[in-house]
Structure 1
Amino acid sequence: MSSHQQFESLKLEALPFLWHPLEDPATNPFPATLPFELNHDAVSGIVSQVPDPAVQEVLAASYGKGTYFEGLMDATGIGAEYAQDFVKFIDMSISSTGTATHTALDIGCGTGYLLSLLKEKGMEVLGYEPGFAAIGKFPVPVEPAFFPSPAIAGRTFDLIAAFALVEHIPDPRDLLRAMARYLTPQGVAVLAVPDCEDQISNGDLSMLIHEHYSYFTLETFSRLVESAGFETIEVRKSGFGGMIYGAFRRASSPPPRQPVAADDLLGRVAAAHARLREYLERHEGKEIGVYVPGRAVNSLYILRDEIKTADITLRFFDDSDYLQGRFFPGFATVVESRAELIASPPDALLIYSYSFADRIIANLGTSLEGSVEVTLLANLLDGRA
């Protein structure tokens, strides 16, 4: 039997291929959409993308050009907030285990900013980053290669960190087993993956992206890492940005786990799209603004015929300076700023975020009161809107 057990399967002929915000949707060097197949593993409970050679070929080419959507750790902006929150968890994990931490390895180190923070704490650091992001940005050593490589043969590390990496690997157990080999006997692996608990429970396809193979809840993340030879120290939700954090150490044998129960994910997906269709029907002929459109484009693309039939005009809004003035693959709708939203409001606004909804509402304040119907995605999908 294939390692991708056909417990549940969802096949989509076309889903937007999000690799980089576009200056001009007409000059996208890659297909605007690619197929996507989603499965549910009956043993681990993990929801995962089935690898497709044609999709993987396009992914490899996009990595060569430099994929980018905001979220990389950096010294400024949202990247700094991600880094600061993750470092707090690293500090707590080290403190709780009493591990003497002299050496640290960051796999998929991005800009190298996390490494620079660990270096400031007195650690000898090394990063791995096969992409373009880390080169020369911070004064830390980075191997421009995939982990592991001969450069660290015979070495071990007291701390191994990987932020937003595990979900990118078709078979993450191979990566995790390699981490265990390079960890000192008392060392700690501190990992972070996107938190998909709300999306999975709501049947919300906004979590899907071709770069990501695995979609985790707290339980399934812990199950996966333990199945690769670790024991769990702590797994919890992040304090910022919708991530799951986990601290692990090597185990002599994985703890016993019972198979997970059957899960009606397909039924929840159908129910979620039914609610989105009802929302569109209620706004026939109107202008709908979507805040955080990067999370919405999957469902909006799937429902594109309904949007056209209902004569709905879509507008996209985001607080990211980098996204503003650019386009998402599959759409000819430019991303506007909050100031443009306030100056020229749509008839309705759908805030398509779980993690940042409260922040967006606070930033908008009373600017749209009485003039725009504002709906939160979570309220829409659970029937409260």
Structure 2
Amino acid sequence: MQDIVRPIDQCRVCGHNDWLDVVSFGSTPLAGNLLGPEDDPGEETRFPLEVVVCRECHLMTLRHVIEPDVLFGHYRYVASDAGSIVQHMRRLVDLCTRRLGLTGQDLVVEFGSNTGAHLELFQQAGMRVLGVDPARNLAEMANDRGVESIPSGFTAHVGREIASGHGRARLVYGRQCFAHIPDIHEVLDGVSALLAPDGLCFVEVPYLVELLANNQFDTIFHEHLSYFSLGALCRLFESHGLRVVDVQTAEVHGGSIVVFAAPAAADPEVRPSVTDMLAEEQRQGIAEERTYRRFAERTERLRTQIRDLVRGVVADGGTVAGYGAPTKGSALLDACGLGRAEIRFCSDTTVLKQGKILPGSRIPIWSPEQAAEQVPDYYLLLAWNYAPEIIEKEKAFLENGGRFIVPIPEPRVISAETVL
């Protein structure tokens, strides 16, 4: 096990080793490690899942790191094609194109590029694109769709190789992957090696302030190593000669921030959004230990409330299924002690997941077509970050008497007579 999982010995942002214990979920299976029906549950490996905060820079992080190839060598998370996500990706393409004045001669590189869906939008806008992703199966899917992608982690060596073969990039970015990476300094070394002097880098990450304020304990699982505030990211970028020049909020994945940085040597202008958000973080108590203790207390309360609500429905003769099978849904079920006795199946549109079984809980994942043959009384909305879209889409389910249980930020039941 020691060659697969190890405790962290210092903060990956600032290098200090003074931790505040926040919350422990015990030992849990890898939430994204979907199983086949033939797999033996007795062989399922569990890993410690403990959360701590650096008292120096206030990075929230997992105490243990799992070997990346175990997590991402064959990855089943496929970038969502939900309307809100596609709109968000298009906005980022338009914003970056306008801000940098991108043309057909410019290179755009994405690390953690998944299936290439976002890079494809830059490609359609006329830019040269290149993706880098450690998941070999996803890089292959990207290449199949015509988006050149390298099956690799993004390192200083990879950055230099790309610069040598393709030229410097005007834009280097990573969406919803930066929090997964153990050695973020190596990634930023790669950015520095590849980014043009007049270029821009951005990372999009789930926002720590939103996680704490909205009780998003289900977003804590082994793939998510880091939970970033803007202050921690500013400190990190500065250590690599990059200056955070802008930050924008995004209503995706439960609330995220898009943080833009430019080479400090170019003396770039810093927009007021940066100082405004840093000041707001102080008002929200990011630097105060009681903020994290209160989050831990609410997490314990919510785990009990969600479990009791679902078990109460079943005890009264109702049936419950999961809507969506995201990684955080698997994490929520495990954290709340829910399994096959309470949840009959999870319905998910991702073909790669259908026919698989959730780790730990052993709940089967069905296609929407299969789920339509055994409609439950209640759907536990595991993909709660898409709640408005899903509830609008499933009006017929509600009108026929069905109900949704929305677990986050507080468990509540949605029927045809109620609204979000």
Taking structure 2 as the reference length, the TM-score comes to: 0.74
* 1:87–1:233 CA distance, 2 compared to 1 (3 A): farther
Supply the distance in 1 between the matched residues of 2:42 and 2:261 (Cα, whole angstroms): 40
- Give the aligned partner of residue 14 of structure 2: none
Equivalent position to 1:128, from 121, 127, 132: 132
Equivalent position to 1:142, from 141, 149, 154: 149
Supply the distance in 2 between the matched residues of 1:152 and 1:279 (Cα, whole angstroms): 48
Equivalent position to 2:96, from 93, 116, 119: 93
- Give the aligned partner of residue 190 of structure 2: 178
Supply the distance in 2 between the matched residues of 1:174 and 1:68 (Cα, whole angstroms): 25
Determine helix, strand or coil for the equivalent of 1:236.
strand
- Give the aligned partner of residue 18 of structure 1: 31
Deviation at 1:383, TM superposition (A): 12
- Give the aligned partner of residue 264 of structure 1: 291
Deviation at 1:209, TM superposition (A): 2.4
Equivalent position to 2:162, from 111, 135, 152: 152
Instruction: Tell me the percent identity.
Output: 19
- Give the aligned partner of residue 315 of structure 1: 344
1:1-385 aligned within 5 A: 2-3=10-11, 4-24=17-37, 26-27=39-40, 31-52=44-65, 55-56=66-67, 59-64=68-73, 66-71=74-79, 77-78=81-82, 82=85, 85-98=88-101, 102-132=106-136, 133-135=138-140, 136-147=143-154, 148-149=156-157, 151-152=161-162, 155-195=167-207, 197-217=209-229, 220-221=232-233, 224-226=236-238, 228-238=240-250, 240-242=252-254, 243-252=256-265, 260-282=287-309, 283-284=311-312, 285-286=315-316, 287-294=319-326, 295-304=328-337, 313-322=342-351, 323-338=353-368, 344-369=374-399, 371-378=401-408, 380=410
* 1:196–1:131 CA distance, 2 compared to 1 (3 A): same
Unaligned runs of 5+ in 2: 1-8, 12-16, 415-419
Aligned partner letter, 1:277: T
Determine if contact 1:203/1:265 at 8 Å carries over to the other structure. no
Supply the distance in 1 between the matched residues of 2:379 and 2:120 (Cα, whole angstroms): 40
Determine if contact 2:214/2:409 at 8 Å carries over to the other structure. no
* 1:273–1:369 CA distance, 2 compared to 1 (3 A): farther
Determine if contact 1:9/1:39 at 8 Å carries over to the other structure. yes
Supply the distance in 2 between the matched residues of 1:280 and 1:143 (Cα, whole angstroms): 43
Supply the distance in 1 between the matched residues of 2:241 and 2:43 (Cα, whole angstroms): 38
Q: Deviations over 1:257-309 (max 9, x none)?
A: 788233433432332332342343354325433323432332332332xx58x
Supply the distance in 2 between the matched residues of 1:89 and 1:225 (Cα, whole angstroms): 20
RMSD (Å), alpha carbons: 3.7
Determine helix, strand or coil for the equivalent of 1:329.
coil
Structure 1's consecutive aligned runs of 4 or more residues displaced over 6 angstroms after TM superposition are 253-259, 382-385
* 1:125–1:262 CA distance, 2 compared to 1 (3 A): same
Supply the distance in 2 between the matched residues of 1:270 and 1:8 (Cα, whole angstroms): 13
Determine helix, strand or coil for the equivalent of 2:385.
coil
Supply the distance in 2 between the matched residues of 1:29 and 1:94 (Cα, whole angstroms): 51
* 1:126–1:367 CA distance, 2 compared to 1 (3 A): closer
Taking structure 1 as the reference length, the TM-score comes to: 0.79
Supply the distance in 1 between the matched residues of 2:134 and 2:330 (Cα, whole angstroms): 28
Name which of structure 1's ranges 153-162 and 92-101 shifts more when overlaid on structure 2.
92-101
* 1:297–1:105 CA distance, 2 compared to 1 (3 A): closer
Deviation at 1:336, TM superposition (A): 3.6
Residue-pair matches, total: 371
Aligned partner letter, 1:2: Q
Supply the distance in 2 between the matched residues of 1:20 and 1:38 (Cα, whole angstroms): 20
Determine helix, strand or coil for the equivalent of 1:70.
coil
Name which of structure 1's ranges 100-109 and 218-227 shifts more when overlaid on structure 2.
218-227
* 1:278–1:159 CA distance, 2 compared to 1 (3 A): closer
* 1:71–1:355 CA distance, 2 compared to 1 (3 A): same
